[in-house]
Structure 1
Amino acid sequence: MQELHALAQAIGLQRIWWDVDGREHVISDASLRAIAAALGYPAETAAQTTASLARVEFEDAEPPAMLVTEVGSETHLPKALANAEITLPDGSAKRLDTASWTLPPIDTPGYYPVSVNGHAFTLAVAPRSCPTLASLGKERIWGPAVQIPALRGKRAHPFGNFAELAEAVDLFAGKGADALAINPVHALFAGYGRDFSPYSPSSRLYLNGAMGDPALVGLPPLPDDPQGDGPLIDWEEALPRRLEQLRATFAGLDEPTRARIARDNAAQGEGLIRQAIYDAIDVRLRAEGAAGWQQWPPELRDPDGEAVAAFARDNAAEVEFHLFTQWLARESLALVQHRARTAGMAVGLLADLAVGVHTGGADAWSMGDVLLQGLTIGAPPDPLGPLGQNWMLTGFSPRGLARSGYAPWIATIRAALSTAGALRIDHAFGLARLWVVPEGQPSSAGAYLHYPFADLVRLVTLEAHLAGALIVAEDLGTMPHGFGPAITGHGMLGMRVLWFERAADDGFIGAADYDPQAVAMTGTHDTATVAGWWSGRDLQWAQQLSRLPDGTTMEQAEARRAWDRGLLWASLTHDSAVRPRPEDTAPVVQAALRHIGSTPCDLAIVPLEDLLAEPEQPNLPGTIAEHPNWRRRLDAPLSQLLDDPATADRVSTLDEARKAGATP
């Protein structure tokens, strides 16, 4: 087994890992073989393992497509580039010792073409730090986090889109917010109402076409659509209907507008055309029962094949329609960000980058072995989830990224920052390692796969510098070794969520003890709202769905919550007021907003649900149909809700707490 373990180490598989309680876990040889094979390194027999080790050695000796460094630093050349020999007078050749050969420091961040020994590659030079609030001339700013589909505007629609987001930007800018965090707006499956989670996209390079709004870009508005305009979004009805409404808009475009769209789209390159072709094929074949490109006819599974080119030619109008929806979404979102900055927001939109993509989606179809094939990503078993998690997503292949010169990763970050002033990287630990699971296997059959962390972090830093944007790295959970110092050292903001900021005695830490280089939050889309936690609504859901911890009764859970309420209230108020009853949530929400607003954190983000004192959360992790994930809508248009005196008072509390600690 020694060769198998050596192979695992060579390809970045972590054979031994430790959970949050410090317990050691050893990955089985069977799992190592299955994952290695999926990565392209068969190891079922000793001969295969030996051959795979030889292949890894050969690949590691290949000249790189990109070297990543930082400003002011010499860059050591890898052995594949630093090879030279001298011809002596007698005609013999002698290899020179080039182990210390370096490229000189460069002081300006950017991408530089380089040629060494006849090999051309790119040198990426990152700054030492991402932009910071101080570099933007701001401090202690705040903003809400909104689920765009939940928003309502003046007109009846079954879900909110970028028009309602534009209104939200205007409203919150007027109340002192400098940022507005949004759910991921990556491309989903066009017109398909089942895979609607924003964290399970078809592509992270392109946008959800259903979010575009014609009126924002000067086209006739979408028709009023009161059908399904209820408290929960019926995605299965709403998305196909929205696709048909957009088809009607497209059919009514005049020639000058079509020419403008074509010019704008031309700047996006061939990737956009490939996305439109994918959507055109997917819409056609889903109607025939094919769920994802793996179920397409074999000749259509190759994006570079003649069959795909023939489909695009034969269905040119359909491809043009999907190019239009991408243009509409891109232009709409860009206008929202422009409005945010024009209204005085220092940051504007804080976009969200999902950790991976759907295995049957456009990125998985078009990127080939740059993405993991035959593997999905998730989380290992732990005390809170004994079975682990399999998110049924795929992500980048570490070696595929290196072969491509990191081009897909750079494009992904650049796409997200093209219409935003900041970016949150979901499950940012994935920059260092991801839990990968052989397709069709339980999460327990997985292992950690390591990524070129230093390179990926530097490239994010470079792209943030070029875009002038902030970076938020979601760092909740068991942190890989060295992750925290690397992230903070590059000027990225961590996340500090009220529920997880506990002291050694299990109490909640004081506001002054929060990390300044972080985002302070009352909660996330995956946690209970303040009102929901205080009232025990999350416990009710846990009991209803049989999700209480093993061996814990509802009475025991409620008793523990009663104790925790005392700890929270003491931290929020310093024992200066009588603790409210569980059903009296309003003063607790107010105190939590003041608490988060008073932290020294650069940025405070509060879910809109907490500003509205709502008891229900947008998403309950680990559920699909059992809880209405990503389906809840606001009770009324946002403008009406923010005019409510209680809500207005909560927003003012947060704004005043932020300003109170700022430098005059």
Structure 2
Amino acid sequence: MQSLHALAEAIGLCRIWWDADGREQIVSDASLAAIATALGYPAGNAEAIAASLRQVAAEGAEPPAMIVTDAGTPTPLPAGLARAELTLPDGTVQVLDTQAWTLPAVEEPGYYPLRVNGHALTLAVAPRFAPSPAVRGKGRMWGPAIQIPALRGAGAFGTFAQLAEAAEAFAARGADTLAINPVHALFPGEGHDFSPYSPSSRLHLNGALGDPALVGLAPLAAEDAGGELIDWEGALPRRLESLRRAFVALDPETRARIARDNAPHGEGLQRQALFDALDVRFRAGGARGWQDWPAAYHDPDGPAVAAFAREQAAEVEFHLFTQWLARESLAATQARARAAGMAVGLLADLAVGVHTGGADSWVHRREMLQGLTIGAPPDPLGPLGQNWMLTGFSPRGLARSGYAPWIATIRAALSSAGALRIDHAFGLARLWVVPEGASSREGAYLRYPFEDLLRLVALEAHRADALVVMEDLGTMPQGFGPAITARGMLGMRVLWFERAADGGFVGQQDYAAQAVAMTGTHDTPTVAGWWSGRDLEWADRLGRLPEGTTLADAEAERAWDRGRLWATLTHDAAPRPSPEDPAPVAAAALRHIGGTPCALAIAPLEDLLAEPEQPNLPGTTREHPNWRRRLAAPLPQLLDEPETAARIAALDGARKAPLAPH
């Protein structure tokens, strides 16, 4: 239907796309119509489509809430705007001649109030480049990637207190950064939705990770540490009760301090605490998100919510306490990392979206996708496609809000970090959106204002003096790689995906300097797991081997691949270890990424410890123990083990050694 295709193009839906193998794919008209309708552009029949096309045209004529540009670059204005007033940082107002429909260049990055024909908007001026690793003066840096809950302490899962100890331990061994899993707010005390990549809110923190001992309060009581796997279903409710006891014990001076510290965070923090209080109330009755609450509580500004806030003021104050505790604990952790000598400190992680029933969806629903979830089409990491059951910002909502929620999200992620990794960064250019209740194969790519979002990331990184790492793995949108390179942002170069045309692994010298070299991620096999074939065992057990491939077939191919990897890592200078002896391979892989020209090398803690199991298996939920694995012992004890110490020293030495000639 031609008019439907025109509507899809006008609202940024891609009817034609190319998969990971370069094959053209065409989205069905049924999917296009369903997605367009969910985006607020009804497309059920010809009359509805015509009305939606008129709506798109009317929206395009509305004045923007924000104009995003680059420092030192004249900025075109929409035709018909003839007079503009720009407020400079010193408060003076400059009247601008815009008869050429162009704002003159502004040299200093920042946010500038702007009036055009009486319309108030903001001019966001981005720096040409995000902060560079070179300014840290440390040469080629390295650090571990750590899943915080896996750290062993006095509780059933790790907290920011164990993270602070880990930062100091790795700083003493030469590390300059420590990459962490997302620490966004989850559902308090809820033992089922515990994935760090399915948060309730990306604007606030996971209160369960806060630790009173980091902020001068009495430590939480010791908990049953448990075994190899975290019992989230029991551990999170128990942690909530421990935090309640800590809250009850606060003296008046500490309560006043918390109120003062929380005050600058304003209404947004209050609404997060209010959401958490409501969620605890209604989850006890079986609700799994705000959509399951009584209808009167669906509106954050409604009278029922206001009455609850008054009647349950003490409960709301408790959740304000947990947010304060997490925020202050994380800030203390970053301070200790920097004080220990780390040039960067924490490398935070921004999840690609939020839980559909979480706080961000409740508070910011006008800016969020409704009736759609996000995921990925079939690709090598997820052969069946993926539906992450998350929501995110809508392009229309971002434009209408002047990008305010995106700016707030980046700012929150950088508040206590020296660097930020943006998960599935392709989402700045396009997201795979799936109609509610449909399979991921029935989705389509939705375009986003890539240049504006990228500029705003650069601007916020500039304000925070933080590095930016873009997770750019998978099928890359056209122009994405050159754009992030031009901005001085780092891509990711993961050992398993750095292959030559013949399928072999590329050499150290072929890694890009403006990138992060990695032995793996939380979504890929560990080096020990790959070498031993543990990942193949999981794939066979869960029926995830390629169609027509047996376990024996996969193991035969892996045997050949082991030879190619070992040749690249060592040039066959040593005998190849057997599959049952993966530790030497882990050491060689660490030396390999350490010797690359990449500005930063990140090694998952599992590879430093030569562990066979990976933290997460994409495309699974209950089938694999995702996000449950714990270290065998406290981290300092593990780092002192001779083989582990030797692997860390190998990585540190490779980073400090002169680069091999190309």
Q: Distance in 2 between matches of 1:536 and 1:381?
A: 23
Decide whether the 8 Å contact of 2:83 with 2:116 is kept in 1: no
Q: Tell me how far 1:381 sits from its aligned partner.
A: 2.9
Q: Secondary structure at the match of 2:321?
A: helix
Give 1:157's aligned residue. Answer: 155
Q: Tell me how far 1:81 sits from its aligned partner.
A: 3.6
Give 1:5's aligned residue. Answer: 5
Decide whether the 8 Å contact of 2:526 with 2:614 is kept in 1: yes
Decide whether the 8 Å contact of 2:381 with 2:618 is kept in 1: no
Q: Distance in 2 between matches of 1:539 and 1:522?
A: 18
Decide whether the 8 Å contact of 2:382 with 2:618 is kept in 1: no
Superposed, which structure 2 residues align to 1:81-480 within 5 Å?
A: 81-82=81-82, 100-153=100-153, 156-226=154-224, 228-382=225-379, 385=382, 387-480=384-477
Q: Secondary structure at the match of 1:269?
A: helix
Decide whether the 8 Å contact of 2:198 with 2:351 is kept in 1: yes
Q: Secondary structure at the match of 2:258?
A: helix
**AA of the residue aligned to 2:376:** A
1:662–1:338 Cα change, 3 Å: farther
Task: Out of 116-125 and 380-389, give the one that drifted further.
Answer: 380-389
Q: Distance in 2 between matches of 1:394 and 1:99?
A: 42
**AA of the residue aligned to 2:453:** L
TM-score (norm: length of structure 1) = 0.96
Superposed, which structure 2 residues align to 1:506-525 within 5 Å?
A: 506-525=503-522
Give 1:88's aligned residue. Answer: none
Q: Tell me how far 1:584 sits from its aligned partner.
A: 1.1
For residues 630-658 of structure 1, give each alpha carbon's deviation from its aligned partner in whole angstroms, at most 9, with x where no partner exists: 00000001010011111111110000000
1:386–1:495 Cα change, 3 Å: closer
Q: Tell me how far 1:387 sits from its aligned partner.
A: 3.4
Q: Tell me how far 1:16 sits from its aligned partner.
A: 0.6
Decide whether the 8 Å contact of 2:425 with 2:470 is kept in 1: yes
Give 2:593's aligned residue. Answer: 596
For residues 469-517 of structure 1, give each alpha carbon's deviation from its aligned partner in whole angstroms, at most 9, with x where no partner exists: 0000000001000000001110110000000000011110001110110
Are residues 1:494 and 2:491 paired? yes
For residues 108-145 of structure 1, give each alpha carbon's deviation from its aligned partner in whole angstroms, at most 9, with x where no partner exists: 00000010110110000000000011122232000000
Q: Tell me how far 1:382 sits from its aligned partner.
A: 4.2
Q: Tell me how far 1:314 sits from its aligned partner.
A: 0.6
Give 2:566's aligned residue. Answer: 569
Q: Distance in 2 between matches of 1:561 and 1:658?
A: 29
Decide whether the 8 Å contact of 1:384 with 1:549 is kept in 2: no
Task: Out of 72-81 and 557-566, give the one that drifted further.
Answer: 72-81
Are residues 1:650 and 2:647 paired? yes
Q: Distance in 2 between matches of 1:496 and 1:423?
A: 16
Q: Tell me how far 1:229 sits from its aligned partner.
A: 1.9
Decide whether the 8 Å contact of 1:69 with 1:75 is kept in 2: yes
Q: Secondary structure at the match of 1:134?
A: helix
1:316–1:104 Cα change, 3 Å: same
Q: Tell me how far 1:99 sits from its aligned partner.
A: 7.9
Decide whether the 8 Å contact of 1:61 with 1:80 is kept in 2: no
Q: Distance in 2 between matches of 1:591 and 1:200?
A: 34
Give 2:91's aligned residue. Answer: none
Q: Distance in 2 between matches of 1:428 and 1:52?
A: 30
Give 2:535's aligned residue. Answer: 538
For residues 52-86 of structure 1, give each alpha carbon's deviation from its aligned partner in whole angstroms, at most 9, with x where no partner exists: 111110111000000000110001002364589xx
Give 1:73's aligned residue. Answer: 73
Q: Secondary structure at the match of 2:135?
A: coil
Q: Secondary structure at the match of 2:441?
A: helix
Q: Distance in 2 between matches of 1:82 and 1:620?
A: 56
Q: Distance in 2 between matches of 1:15 and 1:535?
A: 42
Q: Distance in 2 between matches of 1:319 and 1:208?
A: 16
Unaligned runs of 5+ in 1: 85-96
Q: Distance in 2 between matches of 1:619 and 1:453?
A: 29
Q: Secondary structure at the match of 2:73?
A: coil
Q: Tell me how far 1:313 sits from its aligned partner.
A: 0.5
TM-score (norm: length of structure 2) = 0.96
Q: Distance in 2 between matches of 1:125 and 1:383?
A: 38
Q: Distance in 2 between matches of 1:549 and 1:441?
A: 23
Decide whether the 8 Å contact of 1:62 with 1:80 is kept in 2: no
Q: Distance in 1 between matches of 2:61 and 2:138?
A: 47
Q: Distance in 1 between matches of 2:392 and 2:216?
A: 37
Decide whether the 8 Å contact of 1:79 with 1:99 is kept in 2: no
Superposed, which structure 2 residues align to 1:554-633 within 5 Å?
A: 554-633=551-630
Are residues 1:526 and 2:523 paired? yes
Task: Out of 183-192 and 538-547, give the one that drifted further.
Answer: 538-547
Q: Tell me how far 1:152 sits from its aligned partner.
A: 1.1
Q: Distance in 2 between matches of 1:439 and 1:126?
A: 36
Decide whether the 8 Å contact of 1:41 with 1:49 is kept in 2: yes
RMSD of aligned residue pairs (Cα, Å): 1.4
Q: Secondary structure at the match of 1:472?
A: strand
**AA of the residue aligned to 1:138:** K
Q: Tell me how far 1:622 sits from its aligned partner.
A: 1.1
Q: Distance in 2 between matches of 1:42 and 1:586?
A: 58
Q: Tell me how far 1:299 sits from its aligned partner.
A: 1.1
Q: Tell me how far 1:571 sits from its aligned partner.
A: 0.2
Unaligned runs of 5+ in 2: 85-96
Counting aligned pairs with the same residue, the percent is: 75
